[in-house]
Structure 1
Amino acid sequence: MSVETLEFQSEARQLLQLMIHSIYSNKDIFLRELVSNASDALDKLRLESYRDKDLQADTDDLHIEIAIDTEARTLTVRDNGIGMSRDDVVGLIGTIAKSGTAEFLRKIKESQDAAGSQDLIGQFGVGFYSSFMVADKVTLVSRRAGTDEGVRWESEGEGTYTIAQVEDAPQGTAVTLHLKPADDEDHLFDYTSPWKVREIVKRYSDFITWPVRMVKQNPLEPDAEDTAEKAPELETVNSRKALWARPSSEVSEDEYHEFYKHISHDWNNPLETVRMQAEGTFEYQALLFVPAQAPPDLFMRDSKRGVQLYVKRVFIMDDCEALMPNYLRFVKGVVDAQDLSLNVSREILQQDRQIRMIRRRLEKKVLATVKTMMTEDADKYTTFWREFGRAVKEGLLDDPENRESILEISSFASTEDAEKPTSLRDYVSRMKDGQEHIYYITGESRTTIENSPHLEAFRAKGYEVLILTDPVDEMWVDSVPGFDGKPLQSVAKGEVELDPASEEQQSEYTDLLSWMTTTLEDTVKEVRLSSRLTTSPSCIVGDTNDLTPTLEKMYRAMGQEMPQIKRILELNPEHPLVTGLRAARAANPDDASLAETAELLYGMALLAEGGELADPGRFLKLVADRAAKAL
């Protein structure tokens, strides 16, 4: 038998060291993860056998078995599920083919305490590696269903692993943990105790639909060995009751939490549990969970999304995208439909009328649940919005049908309170008499926005302005007309008539505005008087339907060619620099230095909003020359 020795991927090697040397407060979790992986393998085999009638696989007695060898100090979790090929083993075990691992390692190093490190582990789905918390060596033997050759993988977690072909491996996967020496100080961590292992299975995996079997014990002596010559009798140690099919009054909160951890591979409790049951034209049951923390791949292109789909308790697929919209991709759970075909495919699901109806009801239920959080549990809602608000706002673009519901549960930073976001409902309740618009401003950061000259007049008059800094905010504000009958209005686009210039003032500045428009025609489309400035001499605003600078920059970063978008320069008619320029222009219209002053006004306005100068060197020279003349 040829044996290869290979090195772990560098990130996997670091992760193994973390698992081996960390002191995790609940080491029992390793068994839940192995049983969960075995359950997934059985689900996949049954589904594959439905789809491929020619698959040469034994599906008569699908189960999970846990075997303990007290003398050898080994614990084995085996299943007769789909199994793995050599390439599967190298790809799934020898490396970490899961996005976000580098980010996980970075955060774990930044964590200042052990508890913080342990909390992070649950966010990154690294369950198999938890075996090394309790084992000095792990051996895995597997044969993929329908193939003749198996594979044996083994590692002590020190940076390398061995892999070899096996001729007589049974169908499925067996993971054997060579346990570390018994902990004399804490007998609770003795995983060679059948009583201890049974207790872990009942606590964490009781709801798994596949039987989990162990050698039957003498009830009077729970740790006694079976010394009979006959083959040991096995018994099922989990109840196998699907939680979503049991009455809610019979399911404890702990059971919900453990089921969530099983399907999500998250080691933290969910933030909220949502149950649904529909009867009538078509029947289904749903058990959904809102996580307490965003997964690391939430905004990655290849992130998993959707809930598990069952048909009459038969597992059909993971991450059924047809059941949950993309903006709710963080929701985990199970949907069990009664009237679908077992051979349904992802393509068919996209067109299925029942699935579309279930999806609409699920998303409405999730949004209603969040609204209840908002009104009844402020702390829970704050956690939800901090973790998932940016994703939820994508629905304002993708889901016009539920746009009003999404707006109802959304929160935004505003000038009203630097610490506490506001809902649109609360914003409207604070609107001033005669105020017709919900004012907002977009930008890359709150600091930049708060220093923007666009806010000056709004602050002076006490108008509240929403501060929108997420990239998605640049997109949805142009698609959403308003809320509760109040239209949205950017304070940095279009005309804002807070305190418009008088006809006399407009007449006084006609010549200057015309001249500056011509002088700056390469960079601006118009120069006009402003009603939004109180202390700054100038600001730049977009036309009503123009792209914002941030959105323009985003498109360019994505490789899209964009034509130059000229914007509007607004002047403060009360500022000494502007009144002085008007007087100088009236006295000596041929003075060449006036054009430089106009250029300075534009450059200052561009910098004030966080923009980039086309020629910073020239601008600095103009500033230096003017400063020198003033001395």
Structure 2
Amino acid sequence: MNNTDTLQSKETRGFQSEVKQLLHLMIHSLYSNKEIFLRELISNASDAADKLRFKALSNAALYENDGDLRVRLSMNKETGTLTIEDNGIGMTRDEVIDNLGTIAKSGTADFFKQLSEDQTKDRQLIGQFGVGFYSAFIVADKVSVSTRAAGAKKLDAVQWESAGEGDYTIEGIEKEGRGTSITLHLREDNKEFFDDWRVKEVIKKYSDHIGIPIEIWVQEHDGEGNETEQGKWEKINKAQALWTRSKLDISDEEYQEFYKHLSHDYTDSLLWSHNRVEGKNDYISLLYIPSKAPWDMFNRDHKHGLKLYVQRVFIMDDASQLMPNYLRFVRGLIDSNDLPLNVSREILQDNKVTQILRNACTKRVLTMLERLANNDAQKYHAFWKEFGLVLKEGPAEDFSNRAKIMNLLRFASTQTDSNEQTVALADYVSRMKEEQDKIFYLTVDTYQAAKNSPHLEQFKTKGIEVILMYERIDEWFMGHLTEFDGKKFQAITKADLDLSKFEDNNEKEKRGETQRAFESVIERTKAYLGDRVKDVRITFKLSDTPAVVVTDEFEMGTQMAKLLAAAGQQEVEVKYILEFNPEHALVKQMADEADNEVFGRWAEMLLGQAMLAERGTMKDPSPFLTAINRLLTKV
């Protein structure tokens, strides 16, 4: 803040490159409904009022003898301008540069790479990004902002101006009152916003729920209908915080518009829950599930979506202590009567009331999702496609609600022959064979790799369903699941896999004979491969594949090793067990080979095939390729 008694000089500055891209999209009517700019600017003004109210709790002087917070709109047909003015917190020069010249979010460059010529897709992406102020350029060819931070001197006010191209100007001005005034120089094709009735209509539609008065300057008319020089400020909205009203008095449209106000999302929410609790704890919660995942959901600086109010006073955005991390996509607010008005993030962390609110809201969200899953499978599938990856973090993070979370999980499986994750664990258990006591699953890199995995061959033959997992998080995720409905999980790539209970007596007798017949083959292979493998054995789970590699029950699996490597950790060497299919022609040919050198080539080739199928790559492929070439030459 400038403490001198002179105005700061005027300078021209260039926009951050991402802002230029954004402005280009806005100016070319990225939003199909251009009236949306009013909602965005009024929403920002409301936020500024909330922030002032909070800061004034510890410094009442910030009100500057004007405690009646409001937003005012006025239109001037002669100058072709529409002005939106608030008496909220205002901004300093540095805050103006940060807020209006820069998009201060990590990952914005990657975000804009997603933008394309497809405006429908871009509209959804921009809606997730939340860029309220820049929507002014949908209707204006020039925007002027004058602002003074609450508590600052009159000469510390700032004026920002831009035509929405490559740069903007900023200079010091004198401003009597605190807050921000945004003047839009409307284009010729947007004259509709000079009409009182049109602006009132938009405010009623989008901003009726705003908790402070929204006033519009209405010109008085004489007896013949002509405008006079007289006029008055007319309040347009209810000016009552929506969440304090009865649910019976709030329409679905009002809930949706309030969601957009809270989240700056362009799309409607998927569902919501509005709840008032009175008694030992006194609070109101209004929680929304978005229909689209925020673009930065997996960024480290992604903010939680809950706002905290205490006794109707806004306290903070991003109240992460009130919702577990795996539900960070939830938007909404909590208004508590039990927390102190001077509550800080540090106090929230250790506050007993915080834990009660967190537990209650977590259960409410999980119950919302449970009802959605039970009543509308199609809608729940849409939710899962957007947020399933995040929900998978739940079993590791929230032990007390693990059972509820597990009922919400969805997977692909061999039953559906599709990569769509629609199978619930309860569905799987209901289809289990009578003698089956485990839930079988497979984790790999892609759905195609899962679908065509050699580990599935006997499961397909015996008609046993296997859950297919192909997302990076899955191996870690399964490490936190032990059982469901009394059935333990079994990875089909582990050496302790036993399918003998699905075999008849003839198959079991044949297995014993085969194992004895292949003892010498196993020993010769072990002698050749040495410590390159942990063990060699035969398996009866294959039909079309000659060999696979598996890991011991407590050995790190392939996918976990890949996950750690991708995270930059030191590569872990996985010790594999090589398993032969004794019924396969190649294995039989190897078993009949008396020449140890040729036998070694067969072992090398079969190990290489198995490693490629399991890992998709090899550290040193030369022994494998040499063995194949020499065997082909012999043929």
**TM-score for both structures, normalised by structure 1:** 0.93
Alpha-carbon shift at residue 497 of structure 1 (Å): 1.7
Asked if 1:480 corresponds to 2:489, the answer is no
Q: Which residue of the partner structure matches residue 626 of structure 1? A: 631
Where do 1:540-579 residues align within 5 Å? 540-579=549-588
The residue number in structure 2 matching 1:597 is 602
Q: Give the Cα separation in 2 of the matches to 1:389 and 1:616.
A: 37
Q: Counterpart of 2:592 in 1: which secondary structure?
A: helix
Taking the aligned partners of 1:170 and 1:418, their CA distance within structure 2 comes to 66
Amino acid at match of 1:200: V
Deviation at 1:331, TM superposition (A): 0.7
- 3-state SS, counterpart of residue 267 of structure 1: coil
SS of 1:335's partner is: strand
Give the match for residue 315 of structure 2: 316
Question: Is 1:539–2:541 an aligned residue pair?
Answer: no
SS of the counterpart of 1:290? strand
Change in CA separation of 1:70 and 1:383 when aligned onto 2, cut-off 3 Å: same
Superposition pairs of residues 224-263 of structure 1, within 5 angstroms = 225-228=227-230, 232-263=231-262
Give yes or no for contact 1:308–1:319 (8 Å, CA) kept in 2.
yes
SS at structure 2 position matched to 1:456: helix
Gap change, CA 1:372 and 1:97, over 3 Å in 2: same
- Residues 428/532 of structure 1: CA separation in 2 closer, same or farther (3 Å cut): same
Bigger drift between 19-28 and 344-353 goes to: 19-28
Deviations 1:389-426 (A, max 9, x none): 11111101111111111111111011111235211111
Q: Tell me which residue corresponds to 1:186.
A: none
Unaligned runs of at least 5 residues, structure 2: 1-7, 501-507
Q: 1:176 is matched by which residue type in structure 2?
A: T
**1:66 aligned partner:** 73
Task: Name the CA shift for 1:223/1:169 in 2 (closer, same or farther; >3 Å).
Answer: farther
Q: 1:552 corresponds to which letter in structure 2? A: A
Q: Equivalent residue of 1:592, what SS? A: helix
Hey, what does 1:524 align to over in structure 2? 533
User: For residues 162 and 281 of structure 1, what CA distance do their matches in structure 2 show?
Assistant: 55
User: Aligned residue for 1:408?
Assistant: 407
Q: Please list the CA deviations of residues 429-452 of structure 1 after superposition, one character each: whole Å capped at 9, or x if unmatched.
A: 111120111111011101111221
Distance 1:273 1:219, change over 3 A: farther
1:202 aligned to which of 200, 204, 221: 204
Cα separation, 2, equivalents of 1:446 and 1:540:
19
Amino acid at match of 1:603: G
Instruction: Please list, as runs of the form range in 1=range in 2, the aligned pairs for 1:38-437 lying within 5 A after superposition.
Output: 38-52=45-59, 60-99=67-106, 101-111=108-118, 114-148=119-153, 149-168=156-175, 170-182=177-189, 190-216=192-218, 218=220, 225-228=227-230, 232-419=231-418, 420=420, 421-437=422-438
Distance in 1 of aligned mates of 2:220 and 2:428: 67
2:503 paired residue number: none
Report the Cα offset of residue 610 of structure 1. Answer: 3.8
CA deviation string 1:334-379 (max 9, x = no partner):
1111111000011111211122112111111111111111121122
Deviations 1:184-234 (A, max 9, x none): xxxxx6111122112211211111111212224559999964513xxx532
Structure 2 CA distance for partners of 1:224 and 1:468, relative to 1, 3 Å: farther
Q: 3-state SS of the aligned residue for 1:88?
A: helix
CA distance in 1, matches of 2:170, 2:622: 62
CA distance in 2, matches of 1:222, 1:351: 67
Superposition deviation, residue 516 in structure 1: 2.2
Q: 1:169 to 1:141 in 2, by over 3 A?
A: farther
1:14 and 2:21 aligned: yes
Determine the C-alpha separation between the residues in 2 that align with 1:563 and 1:27: 55
Determine if contact 1:142/1:169 at 8 Å carries over to the other structure.
no
Which residue of 611, 623, 635 maps to 1:606? 611
Read off the aligned partner of 1:608 and give its amino acid letter: A
Q: 1:491 to 1:51 in 2, by over 3 A?
A: farther
| C-alpha contact 1:6 1:162 (8 A) present in aligned 2 | yes
Q: 1:24 to 1:610 in 2, by over 3 A?
A: same
Q: 1:26 aligns with which of 33, 58, 66?
A: 33
Does the alignment pair 1:512 with 2:521?
Answer: yes
- Secondary structure at 2:269's aligned position in 1? coil
Superimposed CA distance per residue, residues 241-269 of structure 1 (whole angstroms, 9 cap, x where no aligned partner): 22222111111000001000000000111
Give the whole-Å Cα distance in 2 for the aligned partners of 1:223 and 1:296. 51
User: Structure 1 counterpart of 2:380, which letter?
Assistant: Y
Whether the aligned pair in 2 keeps the contact of 1:519 and 1:595 (CA below 8 Å) is: yes
CA distance in 2, matches of 1:502, 1:624: 33
The Cα shift of 1:3 comes to 1.8
Q: Could you tell me how far 1:514 is from its partner in structure 2?
A: 3.0
Counterparts of 2:330 and 2:574, CA distance in 1: 40
**1:62 Cα offset (Å):** 2.0
Letter of the 2:88 counterpart: G
Contact 2:23 2:137 in 1 (8 A): yes
Distance 1:402 1:23, change over 3 A: closer
SS of the aligned residue for 1:422 comes to coil
Assess, with a 3 A threshold, how the Cα gap between structure 1 residues 225 and 380 changes in structure 2: closer, same or farther: farther
Counterparts of 2:136 and 2:489, CA distance in 1? 54
Secondary structure of 1:72's match? coil
**Which amino acid counterpart does residue 135 of structure 2 have in structure 1?**
S
Root-mean-square deviation (CA), in Å? Answer: 2.1
Q: Distance in 1 between matches of 2:164 and 2:376?
A: 44
Change (3 A) 1:564 1:296: same
Is the 8 Å Cα contact of residues 306 and 333 (structure 2) preserved in structure 1?
yes
Q: Secondary structure at the match of 2:490?
A: strand
Aligned-residue sequence identity (percent) comes to 44
Q: Confirm or deny: 8 A CA contact 1:449 1:609 kept in the other structure.
A: no
Residues 431 and 219 (structure 1), Cα distance of their counterparts in 2 relative to 1, 3 Å cut = farther
Tell me whether 513-522 or 295-304 shows the greater mean CA deviation: 513-522
Moved over 6 A (4+): 219-224
TM-score (norm 2): 0.93
Q: Distance in 2 between matches of 1:225 and 1:465?
A: 76
SS at 1:154 equivalent: strand
Check if 1:615 corresponds to 2:620: yes
Q: Equivalent residue of 2:32, what SS? A: coil
